[in-house]
Amino acid sequence: MAPDHRLVRSRQRGLSYVEVLIAVVIVAVCLVPALDALRDGIRAAEVQGSQTVNQQRLKTRMEEVLANRYVTLYNAVYNPGTGACNNSTSATVAAYSDAAGTADRLLVTLYCYDFSSSNPSVSDTGLLWVKVAIEGSNLSLDTLKSRW
C-alpha cells in the first residue's frame, strides 16, 4: 500500500517542538554575551560622561584664573614678609580653589617658575606656573602665565 501524500504534507507544514526549543536555546546562548557587552558599553558611557564633565570644569577654572592679570596672580603667591614667592608645588591658593569639603574639589596651585632650570623660583622670573587639579584625582591642567 502506498503512503498517503496528504498525511506526509501535513506533517511538514510547521516546526516541531524540538526545532523551536533548539532555536530558543541558540538565541538565549547568543543573547547573554550581547547583553553583557551592552551593559559594559553603558557603564563606559557613564564613566566617560563623568570624565567629560570634570575636564570641562578644569578648563573653565583654568580660563577663570588665566583671565586675571599677571600682577594679580603674582600677588597671590608673593610673600611681602620674605620678599619672595611662596613656592610650593603642592600649596594651593585658596582664593582660586574650591572650599574644603566640596565634592570633586578644584585645587589651584600657583608658583613662580624659573624656565632656565625648570624648577620653582623664589624670585619673580616673569612666569607663573598655573595648575588646576581635582582633589583625589589624576585629572589636572597645567600652563604658564607670562607677565609679558
Instruction: List pLDDT tens digits, range 59-110.
Output: 999 999 999 999 999 988 888 777 778 777 777 889 999 999 988 899 999 9
The whole domain housing 135 covers 44-146
Q: What single-letter DSSP state applies at residue 40?
A: H
* Residue 4 within a domain: no
* Placement of cell 498517503 in the chain: 4
Phi, psi (deg, nearest 5) at residue 23: -65, -40
* Per-residue confidence (pLDDT) for residue 109, from 0 to 100: 92
Name which residue leads in pLDDT, 57 or 10: 57
Domain count across the chain: 1
* Residue 32 within a domain: no
* Residue 26 within a domain: no
**Distance, CA of 92 to CA of 90 (rounded, Å):** 6
